[in-house]
Every structure is written in C-alpha cells, then in structure tokens.
Amino acid sequence: MRTYLDCYPCFLRQALDAARLAGADESQQKVVLDRVFDVLKQIGSSSTPPEIGDRVHRIVRQEVGDSDPYQAAKETSTRQALVLYPRVKALLAEADDPLDVAVRLSIAGNIIDLGPDQEYDLWGTVERVLAQPFAVDNRGAFRETLSRAGQVLYLADNAGETVFDLALIGTLDVPVVYAVKGGPILNDATREDALAAGVDQVAEIVSTGSDAPGTILGRCSEEFRHLYDDAELVIAKGQANYETLSEEGPKVFFLLQTKCPVIARDMGVPVGSIVLKQGRCR
C-alpha cells in the first residue's frame, strides 16, 4: 500500500509518542520532528507507510537513544493475553468449526496495538470478533490454499497478539514457521516476546532479519527471503504487514482488524472491520 498524505500527521504523532516514551525532552522532540519533516519532504508516494515509519523510528533511536521503549508494554501485553489463554482454548475445544474460530481468535488478538496509548477490552474484543461478519471474506480461498500447503509461514505482529496466534497455529494441522522481528520496533514481537507467549511449543520461530515495521522484503535477511519465496501460504498479521505486502501475490493472506482510517479506506471497508484478505499482484 502506498503512503497517503493523510498518513503524514500520523507520522508526526508516532514520532512524538515514540520520542516521549524513550524519555526525550522537548528540545530532543523538536529535533526529531525537524528530521521527520526532511524525510517527509523527500519521500516518494510509492514508499509504504512502514518504510517511512522505519525511518521515523530510526531518527528517534538516533536522537534519544532508548533502543526498546516499548519493552515494558510488550511484557504487560503478553501477560494479560496469557491470563485469557485458558478461556481461548476452551472456546476452541467446544467449536463446531475450529479453524473458523481460530482465525477469529487470531484476528481478535490484533486489537493489541501500541501498548500504553491504546485502550481496549481484550475479552470484549474476542466476543465481538467471534460474532462479527467479515468485511473482506476470503476464507474460502484461505481454506483451499491451506489444504494444499505443506507448510505455513506465519508473519507475527504485536507482542500479546502472539498468544492468540497460538490458537490458530495449533489448528492449522501443518508445520508452521513463525517469523518475528530481528530487533525491537514499536511493540512488534521479537523472539523473546514469542518465547514468552510459548510459540516455540507449536512452531519454529525465525527472525525476518529486519527491525522495520511490517515486512519490508528488501530489508529482510537472505535466509528469510528464501523462506518467504518458498512458502506456499503466508499468514500475515496486522496492518503493517498489509501495508508492506498487499501486492505480493495471492499466496499471502492478511488477518487483521482495521484500526487506521487510511488503511480501511484503501481496503474499502469501515474502521473496526475484521478482514481475511487474499493478496493481489502488482
């Protein structure tokens, strides 16, 4: 997905939030914003929002220095999600269609976003998403692709959401490779966050080799790109993965809730929708 001009105010908001969370004083915050202005003046409209976001967060790290301001928030998110995991398993155990319920649970977990600044009712979200109609519903194509796949590449999103991914991974009935960020960025899951959620008990955890938001293939390790190229089915969680991979072809399936109005409009659905969308080609 290309960057829209409507994303620009949001980049400033993100830069301020990240700088403050990293402990920046006001003059550091101003320096960060001034550098973000330069980035926004330079970028072409073909850059994806996470590519800009990556540059914004690099500026924050360079100017303020804290390499992982979201660490505490990530640990809290994972703990809160783990508390609910027995209820998640109980839902799956009594499901008539476990794959459908597991897909919805994984999408419900996507409500977790940017930790400290967002408020959400996690179990309330689970109950809503279990009953909510899909605004984009490519579940048929997803089931068909899954039935032919010998392995699934699963692109993680946020810490805490990882716990809800467990439910889906356990239901897929094929080996799963779970790809996490190569280093801390926002509240995205790293290997440590995936381990804290217990993902290693159901999948092989790999790193994308990149600490940019979403999955910017040109920034990932060669090893990960091979994995990606060889994959028959890619499950891509969350908005940033949609923003970076929306035109990478029909083997990619995006599972997410639309929380950003620009992404929702790009998809042609309202904010607050649940989506299982098959990727398109360029």
- Please say which residue, 30 or 225, places its beta carbon nearer to its own copies: 30
**Strand ranges, E, within 105-215:** 134-137, 152-155, 176-180, 204-207
User: In whole angstroms, how close is the CB of 24 to its own copies at the nearest point?
Assistant: 10
The answer to the question of residue 29 lying near its own copies (CB under 8 A) is yes
User: In whole angstroms, how close is the CB of 4 to its own copies at the nearest point?
Assistant: 9
Q: What is the number of alpha carbons within 13 Å of residue 279 lying toward its C-beta? A: 24
The answer to the question of residue 10 lying near its own copies (CB under 8 A) is yes
One of 1, 22, 23, 30 touching its own copies (CB under 8 A): 30
The answer to the question of residue 41 lying near its own copies (CB under 8 A) is yes
CA dihedral 76, 276, 247, 55 (to 10 degrees): -20
Nearest to 126 by CA among 147, 113, 112: 112
One of 18, 23, 26, 247 touching its own copies (CB under 8 A): 26
The answer to the question of residue 46 lying near its own copies (CB under 8 A) is no
Residues 181-240 that bind its own copies (CB under 8 A): none
Is residue 14 within 8 A of residue 32, CB to CB? The reply is: no
Helix (H) or strand (E) holding 9: helix 7-21
Which residue do the tokens 């390499």 mark?
A: 67
The answer to the question of residue 31 lying near its own copies (CB under 8 A) is no
Size of the site for its own copies (CB under 8 A): 18
Instruction: Determine the Cα–Cα distance for residues 161 and 188; give it in Å rounded to an integer.
Output: 9
The answer to the question of residue 37 lying near its own copies (CB under 8 A) is yes
Residues that bind its own copies (CB under 8 A): 5-6, 8-10, 12-13, 16, 26, 29-30, 33-34, 37-38, 40-41, 45
